[in-house]
Structures are given as C-alpha cells and as structure tokens.
Amino acid sequence: MNANEKKIAAHFDGQVPEGLQAPSSPEAQAYIADLNYLREGARAASATPQISDAQFSSFMEGIREGISTSPVRGGGHWLWAKLSLVGAALVVAISVFVILESKNVVQPPVIKADERVDVESVSTDIRDVTVKSEETEDGNAVVWMTPSQAGEVW
C-alpha cells in the first residue's frame, strides 16, 4: 500500500485531518469502491446464523434424514479390491520368478585340466581387422578382433 492509498483509506475510515479534501481522482474513487465492497463482504460474513439449543434437535434430525436417504454404494467396490489383490499377487509371483531365474544365468563351463581345449588358429573375412587368440589365467580361450582404424567395421 503506497502513501496515496493510505490517505484514501484514512479518509474512507473517517480519520481525515482537518483541512484535507476528499480524493476525487478516478483511481481514488475506484479504490474507495473496492474498500466499500470489502467492508460489505466482511459484514455479510460476520452475520452467520446461530443454532440455539431449542433448534439443535431439529438440526440433527435433518442431518440424520440426509444420511439415511443417501444412496448406498453397490458391490462394485469389491471388484477393485479383488483386482488389486490379484495384481499384487501377480507382481509377487513375477518378482520371485525373476529372482530364482537370475541364479540360472549361463556361465561358461568349468574347464578341467584334462578336458582343456586349445585354439589352433583364428581368422576372419572382415577387412582391416586383426584377430588373435589368448588364454586367460583360468584357462579359458579368448579370441580378440581389433579393427586397424577407428570407425565402423562392416
């Protein structure tokens, strides 16, 4: 609120010092109309009806009648409960399946010393690719294909 609005509000509330004139600009008149609208709204809100003790039993009877005449929900809400239960059971079953199956990941076979396979030669028909074979510390054969230049190899 700026100083001009404070002066207008003081005039509206009847707190105008002597010798000061009422604001007459269109903006001031609009501000006074807004203040008047707010004052009337506050008066209307403060005039809420009160229920006396003699009226209370009739008031509660009206509430009871309204509750008793409200429509009763049908059996359709059980459908959603059943579907939720089935969905939860399905999620649990899939989770258990995934956990148990993750233990069956295909692992390379364990090579025994007497069953060891030696790679005799490696080759490729892909242009500009070098191929070599190595043996890892655990005895597995690994074939490496390395392109001679960076980029796509087709």
Nearest to 25 by CA among 1, 3, 4, 40: 4
Predicted local confidence at residue 101, as pLDDT: 79
Across the strands, what pairs with 129? 147
Q: Cα separation of 28 and 41, whole Å? A: 20
**Residues whose CB falls within 8 Å of the CB of residue 32, separated by 6 or more in sequence, listed in order:** 8, 11, 12, 23
User: Over the stretch 86-127, which tens digit does the pLDDT of each residue have?
Assistant: 999 999 999 988 888 776 666 666 766 666 667 788 888 888
Q: Which helix (H) or strand (E) holds 55?
A: helix 53-68
Most confident range (mean pLDDT) of 16-25, 84-93, 113-122, 143-152 is: 84-93
Q: Cα separation of 4 and 18, whole Å? A: 17
